[in-house]
A and B are shown apart, each in its own frame.
Chain A
């Protein structure tokens, strides 16, 4: 029973944390509870559907259907949260002002409604399908062990309780800083979701890992523990991320975070100040990418220098070995001949 409790708790926890944050982040939205309920209902229905069709999904796209599905769900949820943050950067202040003067009965517009329902539904869908498979497995195996089912249900209740505690805690944050706090958390949740979505594409072989394990922090926070899972849900933590995962994470933080800083006038970063900031962030990203390509060693780095009157005859060969369904073992040889006519123009055949 205790085992089942832990298993279900861990799965539910991730969804509950996300829902707790987004529900707190839309304070002042009328009928918030009912919207969360709608999202959960949609998510549960979707999860049951996914769980019953897991065979079909798994077999889809040469056996990479599961990864595509996970990546898709994470991408949609992540982009939705990113969009919400940018929207809040624009309207958050007026919303807070209206909330303060009018109490909690404020019509906030359609955007937060969509975000709340969709993100809740997707969070439940993703983790719920695993819970459904697990509980269904117990029920279908004919084991007359109701304690397992009870354990599972207790795990569900515990996970939901943690999510609610987070929601209640955030809701106590004074209105003046609530949106700022929740937007920062949502920024990290979104970046984490996009990075983990990218990792699923790496897993399926659609994206290169660049470096499979950039670092290993499993000694610090184990991925499977409650701490690791919570950090996974909130900031996208995995103990041994691939470089692609790290780059997507950093890129998402920059792309969502910099406009937030620019638009949030409270941060006192003027637009002129933010442009170098954004450029610095992109430069760091690009630097990371270039170093990674050098690191990957089987990539050729082309220096962007062109010298007039240079003629070039070149043979390139590459050898790749299977990291995915699309790139089985391959070998190719390419010849090229080129001439540079000016200091900035190089041709190549």
Chain B
């Protein structure tokens, strides 16, 4: 749903066991990850190539209101 950008000249692998997704982000490229409609809750996401990079996708009532935050 939301494009992701891998910066810093390194490829990443977007992953989430909660969402059952894994997809490589080429270095400097963007990918689109199709998710949802999700039931409300928090879904953990991470970069498989960078253990420090994790985040949550939080779904409040409607799937439209999905918010994601990614931190180090």
Contacts and interface: CB of A to CB of B under 8 A. Distances in A.
A311 to B, nearest CB: 37
Nearest to B52: A3
Nearest to B36: A323
Q: Which of the four size classes fits the interface of chain A?
A: 35 or more
Given A54-B24, A322-B34, 18 more contacts: A7-B51, A58-B26, A58-B29, A63-B31, A66-B24, A67-B23, A133-B49, A137-B10, A138-B10, A140-B27, A141-B9, A203-B21, A224-B17, A224-B46, A238-B20, A240-B17, A323-B34, A325-B34
B57 interface: no
Contacts of A6: 51
Given A3-B51, A63-B32, A203 B10 contact: no
Given A58-B29, A141-B10, A238 B17 contact: yes
B17 A239 contact: yes
A240 B8 contact: no
A55 interface: yes
10 contacts: A7-B49, A141-B8, A142-B9, A203-B34, A204-B34, A224-B17, A240-B17, A241-B20, A323-B37, A325-B34
Interface in B18-57: 18-21, 23-24, 26-27, 29, 31-32, 34, 36-38, 46, 48-49, 51
A58 B24 contact: yes
A204 B35 CA distance: 9
A295 to B, nearest CB: 13
B9 to A, nearest CB: 5
**When A and B form their complex, which 3 residue pairs have the shortest distance between CB atoms, in order from nearest?**
A223-B17, A137-B10, A133-B11
B46 to A, nearest CB: 8
Most buried by B among A58, A222, A242: A58
Contact of A134 (B23, B37, B49): B49
B13 interface: yes
Interface of B: 1, 8-11, 13, 15, 17-21, 23-24, 26-27, 29, 31-32, 34, 36-38, 46, 48-49, 51
A205 interface: yes
Contacts of A58: 24, 26, 29, 31
Contacts of A85: none
Contacts of A325: 34
A212 B20 contact: yes
Interface of A: 3, 6-7, 54-55, 58, 63, 66-67, 130, 133-134, 136-138, 140-142, 199, 202-205, 212-213, 218, 222-224, 228, 238-242, 245, 321-325
Nearest to A129: B24
Nearest to B25: A58
Contacts of B36: 323
B48 to A, nearest CB: 7
Nearest to A137: B10
Contacts of B11: 54, 133-134, 136-137
B39 to A, nearest CB: 8
B37 to A, nearest CB: 6
Given A138-B10, A321-B37, A323-B36, A203 B49 contact: no
Contacts of B18: 213, 218, 240
A324 B34 CA distance: 6
Contact of B27 (A67, A137, A223, A224): A137
